[in-house]
Amino acid sequence: MSPDVVARTIRAYFAALRAMDQDAWVDTFAVDAISHDPVGSPPIRGHQKLAEFFQSLAGAFKEVGLTEDHVFIAGNGAAVKWTGRGTSKQGKTVLFEGIDVFELNEEGKIQQLRAYWNPAEMVAQL
C-alpha cells in the first residue's frame, strides 16, 4: 500500500474528528472495522457501533478534536502521537494525549484501530 493512501486516510480521520463530522469519521473505517478505544475496553465493531461511540464522545463537548503531533507510516498502517483539546458543554477546557495505531485494508479504510490513552485523565478535567 502506498504511504500516500495511508496518510490520506489518517488525515481524513483526524480532520473529521476536529470538524465533529460523525459521517465523515465513520466513513474512514471499513464496514467490519474493529476499534479498541481505549485499549483494554470492549472492542467497538462496525459502522453502527462506531457512530454510537462518536455520539457519546461528541455529546459531552461543544468542541473537541485531536491534532496529529507525529505520524509514523509503515506498510499498511500508521502510529500517530496526538494531542486532544476540547471545551465541554459547561465551558471547561480539557487537554489530553495518546497514541493511535491504525491498520488499513486494501481499500485504504481503517480495519483496526488501537487507541492508547487514559480517558480518566480527560474526565477528571471536566
* Cell numbers for 67: 491534532
Instruction: Tell me whether residue 13 is one of the annotated catalytic residues.
Output: yes
Consecutive H or E run containing 22 = helix 22-27
**Residue from 37, 69, 100, 116 carrying the catalytic annotation:** 37
CA Rg value for the chain: 14
Of 100, 102, 97, 101, the closest CA to residue 119 belongs to 97
Bridge-based pairing of strands 77-88 and 61-74 is antiparallel
- What is the rounded distance in angstroms from the CA atom of residue 65 to the CA atom of residue 51? 16
**Residue from 4, 13, 69, 116 carrying the catalytic annotation:** 13
Q: Where are the beta strands (DSSP E) in the chain?
A: 29-36, 44-45, 61-74, 77-88, 93-104, 110-116
Instruction: Tell me whether residue 116 is one of the annotated catalytic residues.
Output: no
Just list the catalytic residues. Answer: 13, 37
